[in-house]
Homo-oligomer: A and B are copies of this chain.
Amino acid sequence: MRMLRAEQFGLKREVEYGTPEQNEAVRQIVEAVRNEGDTAVLAYTEEHDRVKLAAGSLRVTEGEIQAAYDHVDEAFLVAIREAAANVRAFHEKQVRQSWMDLQPDGSMLGQILRPLKRVGVYVPGGKAAYPSSVLMNVIPAQVAGVPEIVMVTPPATGGKAGIDPYILVAAAEAGVKEMYRVGGAQAVAALAYGTASIPPVDKICGPGNIYVALAKRAVFGVVDIDSIAGPSEIVVLADEQADAAYVAADLLSQAEHDEMASAILVTTSEEFGNRVAIEVEKQLADLPKAAIARKSIDSNGAVLLAESLDEAIAVINRMAPEHLEVMVEDPMSILGRIENAGAIFIGPYSSEPVGDYFAGPNHILPTNGTARFSSPVNVDDFVKKSSLIYYSKEALLANGDKIMTLARHEGLEAHARAIELRLQREGRE
């Protein structure tokens, strides 16, 4: 791993909007699905997934879901059920209530919170089909009270119309009752505009390839979308009392995801940095994904040497990492100074996979420095608010003049007259 002075570390923060050709391809798919519905969905599925589906066969059947359970091993089922229960418990603590404020003049103001009605969760196919991500997208929506949660996922590779049984089981365990075998930009367009088979949704979430990401961007406004995830990142802040082998293992668990992933140690100890770098080499050698992890470590990995803990914290706040592990002495004492991070893992036993799979907090986190302004997926993402305004006659009579002053200043005379008319009529009584 390269070792750099912390102040030399530059941030690249580029937003990926796709090539003009990719955007045009997506635009055509979205328009075709919007205008032709299922016909276009089936045609693109045949073209891109090389699966010819009959009309009416997009929906996954109850029988398929049952059959999926027969394929799944018991240890997986036990683990995913307990993980789902933990995720549910953590997200249930986020649920908020509508509220109202009754005022002495008889007025009432409030905020009404309601779940979205229908949410679509995109689950990628192939190697990126992660049952854990199904839980992380579905359960917050379910806890929010969303009554209709739909999963879409491309038909499995190899010309078959089937779907990975582990994905089906994870979705069923999370409580999804409605699943469709459709992927790519055509799936996003179908969810946004609806087809004869697939009723439209209010929000689309879940990761996908560049075409899925561009399609989500294209339909944003017609429906809500989640954020578009970048490559995964970990920063470990550790000092010489930390276990270099643990730090190295956690860095590698990020690096194995993707050649673009980044794994960075920030430390004030050059000696400790060296120990971690040696451990990384040692552990990397026999990983099944050694080639990917090697590329990630060489391209995006680094040991950053800070002059002081203050400098270390400052560089972390600039990076705003997706995952931050804190393995310094007395880690809780610095928590208040961490301004930007998606998830913060404290101490030697809070290895990132604990959060990725099991503990309960969401593993879908803001990437690419967006932890400065955005949040892990959470229940609020599936709740909308309405303001409630009940103004009493007394309140209107007391405040009408001020409302008219402000309206007339802005040149909005009809606004002022809507108040004036009431003051004239009601004041008269």
Contact = CB atoms under 8 A, between A and B. Distances in A.
Nearest to A416: B353
A250 B209 CA distance: 47
Contacts of A245: 421, 425
A90 B83 contact: no
Interface string A254-270: 01110000000000000
A385 B386 CA distance: 22
Nearest to A133: B410
A102 to B, nearest CB: 12
A67 interface: no
A82 B402 contact: yes
A358 interface: yes
Interface stretch (A151-159, A300-308, A373-381): A373-381
A354 interface: yes
Contact of A202 (B79, B287, B373): B373
A203 interface: yes
Given A109-B359, A403-B353, A249 B410 contact: no
A356 B415 contact: yes
Interface in A212-249: 220-224, 228, 243, 245-246, 249
A66 interface: no
Chain A contact residues: helix, strand, loop or mixed: mixed
Interface string A284-306: 00011100010000000000000
A360 interface: yes
B246 A373 contact: no
Interface in A65-111: 75-76, 78-80, 82-83, 90, 93-94, 96, 99, 101, 107-109, 111
A288 to B, nearest CB: 5
Size range of the interface on A? 35 or more
A250 B420 CA distance: 11
Interface stretch (A41-49, A52-60, A179-187, A338-346): A338-346
A344 B114 CA distance: 14
Interface string A408-422: 011111111111011
A352 B421 CA distance: 13
A109 B96 CA distance: 18
22 contacts: A76-B406, A78-B405, A79-B403, A83-B402, A94-B111, A107-B359, A109-B360, A114-B339, A117-B372, A131-B406, A203-B373, A246-B422, A257-B412, A283-B414, A289-B414, A342-B386, A347-B390, A353-B403, A353-B416, A356-B407, A357-B403, A359-B391
